[in-house]
């Protein structure tokens, strides 16, 4: 297996807390022979984040389109196989971990452009720290935990809104109450009786984004849910999340996920 990838970062980790242990962090560039790699399984769980390229993950009979920003969790023992759909070699962040109980995450999520930029800065810092340090450091562990937390947020645990902090939970409640169509950062701030600057600062502290960034994340969550579970047209879904121009919505969605809405829907349906 090692010959199929170029692996970077850290092996044999022992970062743990009750019920959870991180074993390995790797940045894998798929080499040409990986296309011939058949379906396989792991004894441990994996978090995957695609940073470049696009393709299809075949997960025990299901097909999941992946592109830049796609996040997946693969449980131990679940057969999976990657199929490349673009000429460029995919680059994927892989975090191997073990848990006592299965995590309450969705299997598929998406990181937006802003969060991806943060992750990429953390990866650069992680690699630089690893090169400088003779042994594992607290700073290195902190960066790895930030990576895991970011991917967990994209996968949306069952108690996500309560776990990220009171300000982000409040913004989510406003979006749920008023709907995403026509909702702006200014309207959210007025609804919460706070200035937008103050609310942005609080959200930056809690989840590393602004009101606009969180609304963008919520729009993507709602769009992918609608595409996966309803028969509504692309235009109707775009309007429902506050994007009236269907062509702009298609470009925006592709920038976030690496796939067009139509292709995403087709691949996510049984």
154-170 per-position pLDDT tens digit? 887 443 433 457 888 89
Work out the percent of the chain whose per-residue pLDDT is above 90: 31
CATH of the domain at 70: 2.60.120.10
Q: Which helix (H) or strand (E) holds 23?
A: strand 20-30
Which domain, by its residues, includes 46? 2-158
Mean pLDDT for the chain overall = 83
pLDDT for 107 beyond 80: yes
Give the whole-angstrom CA distance, residue 154 versus residue 110.
Answer: 6
Residues 6+ apart with CB under 8 A from 101: 19
Average pLDDT over residues 199-208: 84
Residues 33 and 112 grouped into a single domain:
yes
- CA 85 to chain CA centroid, nearest Å: 20
Position 238 scores a pLDDT of 96
With a pLDDT cut of 70, the percent of the chain lying above it is 87
Looking at the fold, whether 130 and 214 belong to one and the same domain comes out as no
pTM listed for this prediction: 0.61
3-state SS assignment for residue 82: strand
Q: Is the pLDDT of residue 56 over 80?
A: yes
Residue where a domain terminates, one of 134, 158, 182: 158
Same domain assignment for residues 188 and 87 = no
Stretch 174-194: mean pLDDT, rounded?
95
pLDDT beyond 80 at 42 = yes
186 and 264 housed in the same domain = yes
Examine the domain organization and report whether 194 and 141 are in the same domain: no
State the Cα torsion 43-46-52-58 to the nearest 10°: 60
CA-CA distances (angstroms) from residue 208 to 93, 119, 265? 20, 11, 29
Q: Which of 131, 158, 185 is the last residue of a domain?
A: 158
Residues 152 and 168 in one domain: no
CA distance 21 to 194: 40
Residue 9, φ and ψ in degrees, nearest 5: 95, -130
Confidence class of residue 5 from pLDDT cuts 50, 70 and 90?
A: very low
Instruction: Please check whether residues 187 and 136 belong to one and the same domain.
Output: no
Task: Report the domain count for the chain.
Answer: 2
């Amino acid at each position: 297996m090692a010959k199929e990838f170029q692996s970077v970062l850290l092996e044999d980790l022992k970062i743990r807390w009750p019920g959870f242990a991180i074993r390995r962090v790797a940045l894998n560039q798929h080499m040409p022979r990986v296309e011939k790699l058949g379906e396989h399984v792991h004894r441990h769980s994996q978090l995957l984040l695609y940073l470049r390229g696009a393709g299809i993950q075949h997960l025990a009979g299901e097909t999941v389109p992946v592109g830049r920003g796609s996040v997946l969790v693969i449980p131990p023992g679940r057969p999976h196989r990657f199929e490349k759909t673009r000429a460029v070699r995919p680059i994927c962040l892989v975090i191997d971990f073990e848990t006592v109980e299965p995590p309450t995450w969705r299997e598929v999520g998406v990181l937006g452009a802003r969060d991806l930029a943060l992750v990429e800065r953390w990866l650069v810092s992680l690699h630089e720290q690893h090169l400088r340090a003779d042994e594992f450091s607290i700073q290195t562990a902190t960066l790895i935990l930030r990576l895991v937390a970011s991917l967990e947020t994209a996968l949306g645990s069952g108690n996500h809104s309560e776990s990220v902090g009171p300000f982000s939970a409040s913004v989510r409640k406003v979006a749920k109450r008023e709907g995403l169509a026509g909702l702006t950062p200014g309207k959210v701030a007025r609804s919460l009786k706070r200035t937008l600057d103050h609310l942005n600062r609080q959200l930056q502290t809690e989840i590393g984004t602004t009101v606009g960034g969180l609304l963008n994340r919520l729009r993507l969550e709602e769009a992918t849910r609608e595409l996966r579970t309803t028969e509504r047209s692309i235009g109707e879904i775009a309007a429902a999340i506050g994007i009236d121009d269907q062509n702009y919505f298609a470009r925006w969605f592709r920038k976030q996920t690496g796939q067009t809405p139509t292709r995403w829907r087709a691949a996510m349906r049984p």
